Amino acid sequence: MKKLVLVFLLCIATSIAFAQQKPRIIILATGGTIAGEGKSSDRAGYTAGKIPVSDLIGSIPSVNAIADISGEQISSVGSQDMSLEIWKKLAIRINEIFSKNEADGIVITHGTDTQEETAYFLDLVLPHELPVVITGSMRPATAISADGPKNLFDAITVAANPKSKGRGVLVSFNESIYDSRDVTKTSTTKVNAFRSPDSGPLGEVYDGRVEYYKSSVRESAKEGPFGINKNTKLPKVEIVYMYADASPAYIDYLVKQKVDGIVIAGVGNGNFSKAFTEAIKKATKANIAVCRASRCLEGRVVLDGETNDNELGTVVSDNLNPQKARILLMLGLTKSKNKKELQDFFFRF
């Protein structure tokens, strides 16, 4: 009899130990459509960032079987209102969570409009091995077939999986897992809103399983020089869009404003008009860092291609799109104003 009781107690102790072994995942909510509320389930109109993180977690009770979940509200904005301040708040909180061993993984819920920018920024400044996964949704929580609960469940599954360690910040969306450097939003409204145009997704999450098929070869924040604390001041870098007969007036304006950097969303291989060239010469003479990116969805901008970077004093973004080139240029400028070093960042990260 005593033996039976002992075995029984042992079983209970083992199951408690196993229950405690569930990974601890903290959800940092920032707003977006995933927390969006509409007046009716069959109309497109809604307000982003209305539903609190506790309700988002409550919508997927079965997730408690795979992880110990808790949530924190970092902001409640549509991601068109994402800001450097919120990025800093996120980065500082994530550093604190991992340094105090509060979680084994983090999921960030975020609007999709600027999700790729937040993902890449955090990827460049967070040096941790533990997974940080960003997700969101295209349909508000109140819509028919809302995609938020599934995307959140999948993102938690990805963050809780040991295979996700050491991969930097990931974007989990519509059953695909993307590298934050390569991913971009490619649809205004469809639920398969994201793609990595040059390299494809890293893996998939489906039916509670995570599979990776490749890894990013770029340097991670662990090797990188960038970091964030509450005193970090990010330089001012703006983007100028090139198109047929575009006016260079905005470049002239930015030179007058004494910005620290300008990214040109050039045509094709990062090209621009003679009028732009003249304005950019003035910018580089004024010691403003100018980076050539492309408005094309795919491909890289080649150094000294049709445009002579050496003569003009410009750097190229490699295959970073303009909005991500801006982030790397901002962080790069916190370390150096030297053109060679800035160019080197674009080939390493």
Token pair, residue 108, equals: 């960030």
Name the residue nearer to ligand GLU (CB basis): 114 or 157: 114
- 147/309 with CB nearer ligand GLU: 147
Residue 111 engages ligand GLU in binding (rule: CB under 6 A): yes
79 binds ligand GLU (CB under 6 A): yes
* CB within 8 Å of 278: residues ≥ 6 apart: 248
For the question of residue 277 being annotated catalytic, the response is no
79 labeled binding residue: yes
Shortest-Cβ-distance residue relative to ligand GLU: 111
Question: Are 48 and 38 spatial neighbours (Cβ–Cβ below 8 Å)?
Answer: no
Residues 41-60 that bind ligand GLU (CB under 6 A): 48
- The answer to the question of whether 344 is labelled as a binding residue is no
Least Å from the CB of residue 121 to ligand GLU: 15
Q: What is the rounded distance in angstroms from the CA atom of residue 143 to the CA atom of residue 88?
A: 32
Strands (E), the chain: 24-31, 37-38, 46-47, 68-77, 105-109, 132-135, 169-173, 176-179, 184-185, 194-195, 203-206, 209-212, 237-241, 261-266, 289-294, 314-316
Q: Which stretch binds ligand GLU (CB under 6 A): 132-140, 231-239, 246-254, 316-324?
A: 132-140
Query: From CA 180, how far away is CA 260, in angstroms rounded?
Result: 25
List phi, psi (to 5°) of 232: -65, 130
Min dist. Cβ of residue 45 to ligand GLU (A): 12
* By CB under 6 A, residue 138 contacts ligand GLU: yes
What is the per-residue binding string for ligand GLU in 17-36, x denoting contact by CB under 6 A? ---------------xx---
Of 251, 233, 234, the residue nearest 329 (C-alpha):
234
Nearest distance in Å: CB 65, ligand GLU: 27
- How many residues belong to the site for ligand GLU (CB under 6 A)? 12
**Which residue is it, tokens 């995933």?**
34
Q: Is 80 in the site for ligand GLU (CB under 6 A)?
A: yes
Burial class of residue 43 (count of CB atoms within 10 Å of its CB; 0-12, 13-18, 19+):
exposed
Near ligand GLU by CB under 6 A: residue from 131, 136, 203, 224: 136
Instruction: Report the length, in residues, of the chain.
Output: 349
Q: Residue numbers of the site for ligand GLU (CB under 6 A)? A: 32-33, 48, 78-80, 111-113, 136-138
Q: Output the known binding site.
A: 79, 112-113
Q: Output the known binding site for substrate.
A: 79, 112-113
Q: Which residues are part of the catalytic machinery?
A: 33
